[in-house]
Amino acid sequence: MPDTFVNRRADNWRVQFAVADLCSGGEDWSDKARMAAIKIERASDATTSGVRLLAAIQRILDETNGAVGSQQLIDRLAANPDSEWAEWRHGKPISQAQLARLLKAFHILPEQVRIGGQQMRGYQVSQFEDVATYLRSPSSPGI
């Protein structure tokens, strides 16, 4: 089993790898099957980008009380130039619309929040509580 295949991912590929191991004759189907699986999993990594985003947001929210504005969140996510959020698409930082689209999958939607006496679009820390519990559980997927 490839090192990156744990939990559900390993379970999903176990049977295919067993068949490839049994079919190995003159050609090494075992290695070919594993290389193909790695390429397929990399190509379908959309869900893990959401999980990585949630993990990055959680680190920011740990230092935030109450609420955070969408633009403030973007600025914090993209502050590190080596972060994937600093060059999310086409060399540009993740936008508010892209952030909202990724978080929508987790039923987290931007709303009007009050920060320092100002109204703005953003997120309440409480919106992330269920997801934070999930990320900290031992059965959550790797980040």
Domain housing 127: 46-136
Q: Are residues 18 and 72 in the same domain?
A: no
Contacts of 101 (CB under 8 A, 6+ apart): none
Q: Are residues 25 and 72 in the same domain?
A: no
Q: Are residues 50 and 31 in the same domain?
A: no
Instruction: Quote the DSSP letter at residue 5.
Output: -
Domain count, the chain: 2
Residue 141 placed within a domain: no
Which residue is it, tokens 């744990």? 6
pLDDT single digits (tens) 13-25: 888 888 988 886 6
14-69 pLDDT, tens digit per residue, is 888 889 888 866 678 888 888 888 878 766 655 578 888 998 898 898 888 889 99
| Sequence-distant (≥ 6) Cβ neighbours of residue 99 within 8 angstroms | 53, 70, 73, 74, 77
Stated pTM of the model: 0.61
Asked if residue 142 is part of any domain, the answer here is no
Task: Give the integer Cα–Cα distance in Å for 14 and 2.
Answer: 11
